[in-house]
Structure 1
Amino acid sequence: MSHNPITTHILDTSTGTPAADVPISLFKLIDNNWQLLASGKTNKDGRISEWNDDSWYTDLAPEQLFSTYKVAFDLDAYWQSHPTPAFYPSAEIVFRLQDTRHHHIPLLLSAFGYSTYRGS
């Protein structure tokens, strides 16, 4: 597998703009414990398509990737540069990778709420 099977982005729905410079961490559930796989910060488009360490999946067969994952967003880092204080200092999205399709995990964000969906 040549490309990371998991990507994400953040859109600030209160302004209609991407959320840049948000620290994000990717974890995998192994033996009931979360293992850090990679981390990064969103770019000016609010996206992470390349994590700081993509080596965790490069030598695995696609079916070996099937597991439970978590994407953790440090929202305080984003809201500190805005006049509106954050109600949610962080968000965690837990999901299962159960097939070989690409998994895009977007976060729609405002000062007092957030939502997500399975992206493409």
Structure 2
Amino acid sequence: MKRVIKRLLLLVVFINVFACQSQKESPIQRIDKEAIKTEVIGKDVQLVDVRTPGEYNAGHIDDAVNFDLSDRTTFMKQIETLDKDQPVYLYCLVGSRSGYAAKILRSKGFTQIFDYSGGYNDWIKN
């Protein structure tokens, strides 16, 4: 009987540890057009367009830098130039690639990642 109680107690502790870890705030936050307008435009921030160079050259937001996510090797080198302790704003065309890029940045230790979920298509919409 004592053995069963010990195992149950251990299970409860194990579940509580993992439950607490999952409640930590994620460094990735999804943002919208209004946030880009108020927090990014005209400000000195790390704004990264993860689309291809062709897409970027056809139009981009403010002073965004182009780190092409489809060129994984170069992308990984380029993100090393960013300050991990400062906010990084990401966008792509509609939000898929920037979401993936945000996960990469999180895995590399970035602490404040903002993913513009609407992407460039939302940006150019009236």
**Fold-level similarity (TM above 0.5):** no
Larger radius of gyration: 2
Q: Which has the higher helix share?
A: 2
Query: Shorter-chain-normalised TM-score: which range?
Result: under 0.3
TM-score under structure 1 length normalisation: 0.25
